[in-house]
Amino acid sequence: MNDRHDEREDNIALLIDADNASPDHFDEVLLVLGELGTINIRRAYGNWAKASLKGWGNLTGIHSIVPMQQFDVAKGKSATDMRMTIDAMDLLYRGHVDGFGIMSSDSDFLPLAQRIREEGLPVYGFGTAKTPLGFRQACTRFFDIAALQLDDEEQSTGNADELTLHRTVDDELIDLLGSAYKASKRDDEGYASLSEMGQRATAVSSFAARNYGFTRLSDLIRAIPNFEVKPATDGSLLVKRLR
């Protein structure tokens, strides 16, 4: 029984705020979230009588999304956020979910993300670059869905490294990685474990390499001239800050 449990993939629940998320990037979201576990629960919330949700309606059958109807209780107001939060807490306390994906750019989900993480479960957020910082930081990882799509487009052009470097290297990223490197244990030559450095970066931020156009942290680090990456004798990767 224990062996069977160890081999079981994490059960991920994906909750979609259809009013504040575009269906145009849904394939990228499934690709990323699918790497973290099996997305057995897929629900999209909104007032499906609205013409603006037609795009999501077209995807419900294709991607096995359960449309959750929520009528507007008052003119100009949506009860979708509350319905999503209630359902998330129900799933949380049933104990059958190992992680949550929240697709929204609405800061109202900040308390929900915080509460789920208090229970020790990861929260993966998917939204636009304009998503408020509070919600982004409350997530275990937050993914800019536009950046995910751009990553695919860059790879198809064959100029991924040049294009990605242009839009990723900034002072904020260098400071984040530099702080993570400084906090990591280093050997006599100044090399730190890439794995530990990544863990420390995500401990203080919703940092994700995919937000910068890379599928792996090692590829991102290699693309930044401030750091050097080399293999260790055990096959893991080591990082040293050069400047």
**Digit-coded pLDDT (tens) for 12-50:** 999 999 988 888 878 888 888 887 889 999 999 998 888
pTM attached to this predicted model: 0.67
Domain 159-241 has CATH 3.40.190.290: no
Closest CA to 152 of 137, 164, 135: 164
Through-space distance between the first and last CA atoms of the chain, rounded to whole angstroms: 51
Grade residue 156 by pLDDT with cuts at 50, 70 and 90. very low
Q: Which residue has the higher pLDDT, 146 or 191?
A: 191
Q: Domain residues of the chain, as ranges?
A: 2-150, 159-241
Q: What is the pLDDT of residue 73?
A: 65
Residue 162 above 50 pLDDT?
no
- What would the pLDDT profile of 50-109 be if each residue is shown by its tens digit? 888 899 988 998 899 999 988 776 555 567 888 999 999 999 999 889 999 999 999 999
Mean predicted confidence (pLDDT) in 189-213: 77
- Report the CATH superfamily, name and number, of domain 2-150: 5'-nuclease (3.40.50.1010)
